[in-house]
Homo-oligomer: A and B are copies of this chain.
Amino acid sequence: MANWIAVDWGTTRMRAWSMDDAGQVLASAQSDLGMGALTPAGFETALLDTAGDWIDGPTRVVACGMVGARQGWADAGYAVAPCKPPTGAHAVPAPSEDPRLEVFLLPGVSQQRPADVMRGEETQVAGFLALHPDFDGVICLPGTHTKWVRVSAGEIVSFRSFMTGEIFALLSHQSVLRHGLEGEGWDGEAFDAGVTDGMARPQLLTSDLFCLRAEGLLHGMEAPAARARLSGLLIGMELAGARPYWLGQDLAFIGAETLSDAYLRALKAQAATGTRMDAEAMTLAGLTAARAALG
Contacts and interface: CB of A to CB of B under 8 A. Distances in A.
B207 A205 contact: no
Interface string A240-280: 11100000000000000000000000000000000000000
Contact of A166 (B163, B176, B215, B240): B176
A110 interface: yes
Interface string A160-197: 11111011001100111000000000000000000000
A161 B215 CA distance: 13
B201 A117 contact: no
A132 interface: no
Interface range on chain A (Cβ under 8 Å from partner): 35 or more
Interface of A: 70, 110-112, 114-117, 145, 160-164, 166-167, 170-171, 174-176, 199, 201-207, 209-211, 213-215, 217-219, 234, 237-238, 240-242
Question: What is the oligomeric copy number?
Answer: 2
Contacts of A206: 162-164, 167, 234, 237-238, 241
A35 to B, nearest CB: 12
A207 B201 CA distance: 16
Contacts of A209: 163, 167
Contacts of A234: 206
A250 to B, nearest CB: 22
A201 B114 contact: no
Contacts of A116: 210-211, 214
